[in-house]
Amino acid sequence: MWQSLHASLEARNFTVVAVAMDEPEAARPWIEQAQPTFPCLIDRNHHVADLYNMVNVPQASWIDEAGRIVRPPENAGSSDAFRAMDRTTMQMSPAQITERNRSKQTYVAAVRDWVAKGAASEFAYDAASLRSQLRLPDEAMAQAHARFRLAQALLRKGNGKEAALHFGEASRLHPESWTIWRQAAAKDATGLAVSAEFWARVDALGDRPYHRPIDMKGLRRGEA
Amino acid sequence: MITVLHEQSETTCTSARVRGEELWLTASELAAATGWSMKPEGLCRGDVCLPVPPSRAAEYVDGAYLNATAFWQRLQHPVVHDAAGEVWVLGTSAADRGSALASLEAPDFALQDLTGATWSLSQQRGKKVLLATWASW
């Protein structure tokens, strides 16, 4: 997903660090196909989601040369257009595909602007603006991550039945986290957690977003 | 055999004892599993020390053993375990996660790639980084 961006900017002191919220063997075919030249790390315990209070994929944070966050963890250019796809054929209409591509291109263009201009980029926050955009976790979320960690350990010990209880409790404590829910959910033959249960959970969002809109020109809610 | 999970580490604690909802560890095993060590001023990590309340010392210390659950709960961190008491997560509180993020210094971590090589975020210092998550599911 990020290889062309990385390849075109790596000479400018930029790198993608990709983190798969996934099991190594599930992530492997995707990584082998993409042949990325940036670090592609496997995070089966979703530790990075815990550290950065991330709730979905793809989410990303921009980090400058000094290790400071300049954009908070947020949706990295995905759109909610998929919600209107044909759920039998999994096909999107031309208009939905256009919207999906526009969202991605807008986000990638912003990354390029930041790499070119640094702190002067209109997309890089100063500290005060960033703090106002940061979403901090609450105690239920911290409990959810501890449960998730326990569930993953139990799963690896072969105790799927007890793991399921803790996955369930993690999702109950942190319902906003799609990473927790989808990692634990049943997968179809292609490895996707896109079951009737998934769509029911998406539909239950109603007017709420699946990918929370971000504060970026062209991607704010209602901007299209 | 009891396994303690804390941040990214997974530590087998051969001397651990479980008493009901409490996990008791020797000071050296607690230090190995979490980085918190027992000192005269209390249980410490870096500059931070949590004193043992003298009137309730028995709740926290029993000979060579420390009540990891009691210390963790006093630090307001999550503690969860499996039904058999064999796997314990000594988690990290929302307050700690939140203050780390609010410092605006990107929280560091180290993870492996598919070849088994370990990468930390901090080793990218000096570059702009797009830290991006994805999943196969």
Pair B90, A153: CB distance under 8 Å? no
pLDDT at A212: 94
Rounded mean pLDDT of A196-220? 93
| Calpha distance B78→B90 (Å, rounded) | 6
Q: Do B137 and A16 touch (CB under 8 A)?
A: no
Residue A118 falls inside a structural domain: no
Say if residue A58 is preceded by a cis peptide, omega within 30 of 0.
yes
What is the least distance, in Å, from the CA of A143 to any CA of chain B?
6
Please state, in angstroms and rounded to a whole number, the distance separating the CA atoms of residues A98 and A214: 19
Which parts of chain B sit beneath pLDDT 50? Answer: none
Q: What is the pLDDT of residue A191?
A: 87
Subunit contact A150:B133, Cβ cutoff 8 A:
no
Is residue A161 one of the residues assigned to a domain? yes
Name the domain count of chain A.
Answer: 1
| Within-domain flag for A188 | yes
- The beta-carbon neighbor of A48 closest among B82, B133, B136 is B133
Domain of A182? 139-203
Rounded to an integer, what distance in angstroms lies between the CA atom of residue A39 and that of residue B123? 11
Q: What is the mean pLDDT of chain A?
A: 95
- Write out pLDDT tens, residues A96-137: 999 999 999 999 999 999 999 999 999 999 999 999 999 999
Residue of B nearest to A61 (CA): B131
- What band does A224 get if pLDDT is binned at 50, 70 and 90? low
Asked if residue A181 is part of any domain, the answer here is yes
Per-residue pLDDT band at A221 (split at 50, 70, 90): confident
Tokens linked to A201: 């959970």
Q: pTM here?
A: 0.96
Domain residue spans of chain B = 2-96
